[in-house]
Structure 1
Amino acid sequence: VRIAKEVKEAGANMLRGGAYKPRTSPYAFQGLGTEGVLDLVKARDLTGLPIVSELMSVDKLDEFVKNVDIIQIGARNMQNFDLLKAVGRTKKPVMLKRGLCNTIEEWIMAAEYIMAEGNPNVIFCERGIRTFETYTRNTLDLAVIPIIKERTHLPIIIDPSHAAGDYKLIESLSLAAIAAGADGLIIEVHDEPENAWSDGAQSLKPSKFNDLVAKGKAIAHVIGRSLG
């Protein structure tokens, strides 16, 4: 709730948090589950920020439809076709992340699975793809922005935090994404990143996030776009 209030004051217009977390290691923090969802609901009640969280399995769909404003389908589930069909049968907006090793065409077809079930409310989210490069966590593919806009009618947002894996790179990647025409950004924020249970290395402190939002809005104004 504290961080939600801080990011809202800085200009954020949604709050994303992973209550259920797909982790490479089974021993890593797996999220708080339903408790985490209810924490997000509390933050929404106190700030008015819509909440976004990742759905990992169909059996949790009712919980998400009831509590979450935007359902995130994560990179590892981009081609979980049963899950895509299930969220397609709802009217909840769906944020569809690109898979770690998937092509743009495969990503677009994953969105089609959702829309074919009757849900047109799909948002693409680029979070970097796996390449041979090891300096960054993933390689951020900003070329997807004009391609998605040419090939589809859907909005696209960029997640530089998961792409870079390093807080020092977030500002540069964010500003580049805005200049390239992104419709929004997901930025990890934590007031004590060194003590974060997950992804602390890629999290900005609230003051740095505030600075980034100001710079991002300035660029968006120059190119005549609004920034979410």
Structure 2
Amino acid sequence: MVVVVDKNLPQTKVEKIIDELNKFGFDVHKSTGEKYIILGALGVQPGFDIRKVKMIEGVVDVFRITEPYKLASKRFKPDKTLVKIKDLTIGGEEIIVIAGPCAVENENQIMKLAEIVKKSGAKILRGGAFKPRTSPYSFQGLGEEGLKLLRKAGDEFGLSVITEIIEPSHFELIEKYTDIFQVGSRNMYNYPLLKLLGSSKKPVMLKRGMAATIDEWLMSAEYVLAGGNPNVILCERGIRTFETTLRNTFDLSAILSVKDKTHLPVCADPSHAIGYRDKIIPMARAAVAAGTDALMVEVHHDPDNALSDGPQALLPEQFEQMMKQIKAIAEIIGRKI
């Protein structure tokens, strides 16, 4: 249920409304928009008479949210969520580019790549320290040493950093080093992990599950939001279909569809969606044209010898080319990079 309150209502009266909702058995989440204060009253009460709330002084309107997700719904928060990372904002006019290797391999590699992506215009450095690989025999990441190197490279070149968390036991360790938690496709349904991330003040990038519907994706985001963390970024990274030509099927339409349903910003990851570097740039262009708020791509200066996902990593000169092209597209649609 959504309770709309006049933004100019004194704080004491807003608190009184919240107290009344609590007495009715609802948990309340508050969101302040341009014109109104929106109170999300959470709790399953199918027979509740909403007229009881409409009669409270200061309440402008009350309506039920029919979607299974509440806090992620555009009906709960009509204004866009702007996720701030230091001096960056994801969800605003600027499209933020996130780039770097799939995995941190050594100090020379991550420092070199940080310099390359910074020079071409990236704002956030990506790099995995803990890698959930399909094969138990594949490179699993450097662990804390990888986190230290990623943080060092980010600080050296003025880049924020993002890295993947794969299990709850890594939470405190990763939180020390990262600016953004990344939840990979395999962990979209890891509800204990999502609940834990809800307790963090750091942004969470939630990748869509390999076979997840958009509503299932938003329900996973709801776990983080319900835990108290409003800074969620959704990431479309391709879904698994009957087609096997490419690594996955890049669902560009999801960028549009999810924005109809939610206030949360959206990121596109064509590297994982496509899996082949020669097709990444065209899909990056398409994602920007479709309205993505951020773009994440993998870059490696020596992909043939990369320890993880070398075939989908752009070469430095390709990344530079991509940046020039998407800047032009962003300008045409009234945005910037």
Structure-to-structure mapping, 1:156-171, within 5 angstroms: 156-171=266-281
- The 2-side partners of 1:65 and 1:112 are apart by 21
**Counterpart in the other structure of 1:55:** 165
1:185 to 274, 280, 295: 295
Which residue of structure 1 lines up, in the alignment, with residue 226 of structure 2? 116
Query: Which of 217, 231, 246 is the equivalent residue of 1:136?
Result: 246
Structure 2 counterpart SS, 1:96: strand
Amino acid at match of 1:210: E
Q: 1:151 aligns with which of 261, 264, 269?
A: 261
Structure 2 residue 104 is the aligned partner of structure 1 residue 9: no
TM-score using structure 1 length? 0.98
Deviation (angstroms), 1:226? 3.0
Question: Structure 1 residue 45: deviation in Å?
Answer: 1.7
By percentage of residues, which structure has more strand?
Answer: 2
TM-superposed CA distance for 1:155, in Å, is 0.6
Aligned-residue Cα RMSD (Å) equals: 0.7
What letter is aligned with 1:53?
T
Superposition map of 1:1-228 within 5 A? 1-227=111-337
Aligned-partner Cα distance in 2 for 1:60–1:196: 25
1:22 Cα deviation from its structure 2 partner: 0.4
Structure 2 Cα separation of the partners of residues 217 and 47 of structure 1: 21
Q: Distance in 2 between matches of 1:45 and 1:162?
A: 26
**C-alpha deviations, 1:153-190, integer Å up to 9, x for none?**
11101000001110010011000000000111111000
Which 5+ residue runs of structure 1 have no aligned equivalent?
none
Kindly provide the CA deviation profile for residues 91-124 of structure 1, in whole angstroms up to 9, marking residues without a partner as x. 1100000001111000000001000010000000
- Contact 1:183–1:226 at 8 Å: present in 2 too? no
Q: What's the offset of the Cα at 1:204?
A: 0.6
Distance across 1 between alignment mates of 2:265 and 2:324: 22
Q: Give the deviation of 1:64 after TM superposition.
A: 1.6
Query: Which protein has greater RCO, CA pairs closer than 8 Å, 6+ apart?
Result: 2
* Largest Rg, 1 or 2: 2
Alpha-carbon distance in structure 2 between the residues aligned to 1:22 and 1:223? 37
* 3-state secondary structure, aligned to 1:187: strand
Structure 2 CA distance for aligned equivalents of residues 3 and 67 of structure 1: 18
TM-score, length of structure 2 as denominator length: 0.67
The AA in structure 1 aligned to 2:170 is: K
Stretches of structure 2 that go unaligned for 5 or more consecutive residues are: 1-110
Any idea what SS the aligned residue of 1:83 has?
A: helix
- Counterpart code for 2:205: M
Q: CA deviation at 1:148?
A: 1.4
Aligned to 2:297, what secondary structure does the other structure show? coil
Task: Please tell me the residue identity of whatever aligns with 1:198.
Answer: S
What is the aligned length?
227
Task: Give the residue type in structure 1 aligned to 2:161.
Answer: I
Separation in 1, partners of 2:144, 2:239? 29
Whole-angstrom distance in 1 between the partners of 2:175 and 2:206? 16
| Deviation beyond 3 Å, 4+ runs, structure 1 | none
